[in-house]
Amino acid sequence: MGNSRSVLEEGLQEMSLTRRVGAPVDVVFRAWTDAKQLAEWWGPKRFTNPVCEVDARAGGAIRIHMRAPNGVVYPMTGRFVEIDRSHRLVFATAALDGDGNTMFEILNTVTFTAIAGGTEIALVAQVTSTTPAAPQYLAGMSQGWSQSLDRLTELVQR
């Protein structure tokens, strides 16, 4: 069920992606809100997450440090805006530079729909603020999310 489509609309700074996975909605939703599971799949291929903290409630914090294969760490912080268990998850994230300053912010909306044989995940990532440092990182957002969802699919279908 590796069905995936991705569109990054230039100028609008919004990316949408839909993925079908062969696992029940509850299992897929939990992989987004449980720190241990999130650490296993968040980020592009071969990235690890030495820091992954999640307080999965409206207003709760999220903090992830992604480590690239070359050892560079990309810290991110954020908060949960809305949680409708097993249906919808809305969270804001901010990518931080080496000094802890925000480079850009994204509002992520994830919808989980039960389908025959599993779950359809619909993700919309909307850039809400940027700095001059942001474009080089945002250029890889679609590919990064696609690879993250590949990793999520592998985790929940085990």
pLDDT in tens, 102-126: 999 999 999 999 999 999 999 999 9
C-alpha atoms less than 13 angstroms from C-alpha of 139 in its C-beta half-sphere: 5
Percentage of the chain exceeding pLDDT 90: 85
Q: How much is the average pLDDT of 17-36?
A: 98
Q: Which residues pair with 96 in a beta bridge?
A: 102
Name which residue leads in pLDDT, 56 or 8: 56
pLDDT tens digits, 40-84: 999 999 999 999 999 999 999 999 999 999 999 999 999 999 999
Q: Which amino acid is at 158?
A: R
Q: Which of 126, 96, 95, 94 is nearest to 108 (CA)?
A: 126
Any residues with CB less than 8 A from the CB of 52 and at least 6 apart, and which?
35, 36, 38, 39, 42, 63, 64, 65
Q: How much is the average pLDDT of 8-18?
A: 71
* pLDDT confidence tier of residue 5, bands split at 50, 70 and 90: very low
Percentage of the chain exceeding pLDDT 70: 92
Q: Which of 3, 4, 7, 12 is nearest to 127 (CA)?
A: 12
Tokens of 103: 């480079």
Helix or strand run (H / E) with residue 95: strand 88-96
Radius of gyration for the chain, computed over Cα atoms and rounded to the nearest angstrom: 15
Please determine, for residue 156, whether its predicted confidence score (pLDDT) is greater than 50. Answer: yes
